[in-house]
Chain A
């Protein structure tokens, strides 16, 4: 019986893969071993049979269409360019974000500094809706109160000055008031009589729920702020946050925007609150916006940054999606 080793030798022999020595040894055996020779013959016939197989014609050409070739040729440079553009846009977005933070601290800090304000809003808005009578007051207040705030800053009631210097919630206000030395004269009309009332009326509804909001200033700004909390009679101090509340609150009202063509949210807010109030209060409201620009400044200066950020974010998304699509295809 022919062993597997013999088959391997015979197979290699047919392919001329044996060394001369191996070949000589095998041929010597073949001369005497009939069985081995038969095995060789049959293997040779087998190989010949396989070689007799016809070459079959391919059923079609296998040349590649551009679609079959896929991404490679056309989309490679496009993909690279899109990827680069996406990276640049993303880097620009980061830069814009950082630039926004660095160059305009006001909008950046605003959420913190303004923290008390929304709370005040909730306070004042609650009574505003619950108590219709308070509405006219609130409407009247904004007109007078900013004026008062400006006036106070100018007239330098010691309390307000300290407040502003001591920071806390007073911070933003102080900067506004200080920065707005100019508006004050314009508003200077009614610092006197109306203010205490306005301050009082606002402060009193504010107080019950105010604790949290006002406590913020209290922590940072010291005794005077406490006084403001304790006794609304320190007219100017509570009055200052209040106008804001009156101002910021209306911003949420949708009707405000169509009504006002003005660019700054604050001035819109003002006129809105005025709009909600009796017509009589509307007139003063018109003057107030000019007094308020300090706050209006921050959204104004933040606007180009925000636009830039949004634009770059959109650009990054679009470019990234385009790059992804070209790669897939």
Chain B
């Protein structure tokens, strides 16, 4: 993944605002992994997440004029978040597809095991367990109300700080804070059951705690 300095990024944004599609596509390449992951964790299903990410980039390009400086990432994430809400609403109108999405999807991107932790040396057993844990966590995320899930994903999956979450969601800082705590409390309950199923990895993580 290419990485730009903030100055480079601003220059690209300006060029894109003047209609330079290549400049915009360089920004897409820079941010698409984060955008897709945010959508994937919020929506919980790969195809819909890809649709939402694509919609978000198209929408971002068409509304470049509304970007007035500041964090381009925050501006972009807000568009993605809205695209995710749109997609979730769409899926609720199609209950069958929604049920499918809420179930754990072993054939999703996670099945590829292409993640941050995959770089670490691990046995095939560990690898399977990790995959199952990831699916279990996603399942717990999917059980959260949309507005809680969005905040939890941003804070704990994407590591955004409160100010960034506030910018990306349009929520007040206090709202971010309380929603996040409620989401974590519910996730904690949900993960209680998972912990027994997958003790090894979970405890491994636990031993390294801060």
Q: Which residues of A contact B (CB under 8 A)?
A: 4, 7-8, 10-12, 15, 17, 41-64, 66, 68-70, 72-73, 76
Surface stretch bound by A, among B31-39, B67-75, B86-94 = B31-39
Q: Are B134 and A53 in contact (CB under 8 A)?
A: yes
**Which of chain A's residues has its CB closest to B57's CB?**
A62
Q: Are A46 and B58 in contact (CB under 8 A)?
A: no
Q: Are B28 and A63 in contact (CB under 8 A)?
A: yes
**Which of chain B's residues has its CB closest to A6's CB?**
B181
B102 within 8 A of partner (CB): no
Cβ of A63: which chain B residues have Cβ within 8 Å of it? 25, 28-29, 32, 57
Would A45 and B157 be within 8 Å (CB), given that A55-B33, A58-B32, A64-B61 are in contact? no
Q: Are B19 and A11 in contact (CB under 8 A)?
A: no
Count of A-B contacts judged by CB separation below 8 Å? 156
Cβ of B134: which chain A residues have Cβ within 8 Å of it? 52-54
Cβ of B132: which chain A residues have Cβ within 8 Å of it? none
What are 10 A-B residue pairs whose CB atoms fall within 8 Å in the complex? A4-B181, A12-B177, A15-B161, A41-B209, A44-B209, A45-B202, A46-B156, A53-B134, A54-B114, A72-B61
Contacts A51-B159, A55-B37, A69-B24 known; 11 new A-B pairs at CB < 8 A: A4-B182, A15-B162, A17-B177, A45-B188, A54-B113, A54-B117, A56-B110, A61-B29, A64-B25, A68-B54, A69-B61
Size class of B's contact patch? Answer: 35 or more
Q: Are B177 and A72 in contact (CB under 8 A)?
A: no
Cβ of A59: which chain B residues have Cβ within 8 Å of it? 36, 46, 50, 109
Q: Are B185 and A58 in contact (CB under 8 A)?
A: no
Q: Are B25 and A8 in contact (CB under 8 A)?
A: no
Min CB distance B58 to A, Å, is 5
**Which of chain A's residues has its CB closest to B47's CB?**
A59
In the bound assembly, the distance between CA atoms of A45 and B137 in angstroms comes to 12
Cβ of B33: which chain A residues have Cβ within 8 Å of it? 55, 57-58
Cβ of B115: which chain A residues have Cβ within 8 Å of it? 53-56
Q: Which of B20, B50, B187, B201 contacts A60 (CB 8 A)?
A: B50
In the bound assembly, the distance between CA atoms of A61 and B137 in angstroms comes to 26
Min CB distance B14 to A, Å, is 14
Q: Are B184 and A43 in contact (CB under 8 A)?
A: yes
Cβ of A52: which chain B residues have Cβ within 8 Å of it? 117, 130, 133-134, 137, 201, 205
Q: Are B53 and A62 in contact (CB under 8 A)?
A: yes
In the bound assembly, the distance between CA atoms of A54 and B115 in angstroms comes to 4
Min CB distance B201 to A, Å, is 8
Q: Are B155 and A15 in contact (CB under 8 A)?
A: yes
**Which of chain A's residues has its CB closest to B141's CB?**
A50
Q: Which of A11, A53, A76 contacts B137 (CB 8 A)?
A: A53
Would A57 and B112 be within 8 Å (CB), given that A49-B191, A62-B28, A68-B58 are in contact? yes
Cβ of B181: which chain A residues have Cβ within 8 Å of it? 4, 7-8, 10-12
Would A62 and B182 be within 8 Å (CB), given that A48-B205, A54-B110, A56-B110 are in contact? no
Q: Are B37 and A56 in contact (CB under 8 A)?
A: yes
Would A69 and B133 be within 8 Å (CB), given that A53-B41, A64-B61 are in contact? no
Min CB distance B177 to A, Å, is 6
Q: Are A45 and B206 in contact (CB under 8 A)?
A: yes
B148 within 8 A of partner (CB): no
Q: Which of A8, A56, A61 contacts B177 (CB 8 A)?
A: A8
Would A46 and B191 be within 8 Å (CB), given that A7-B185, A17-B162 are in contact? yes
Min CB distance B32 to A, Å, is 5
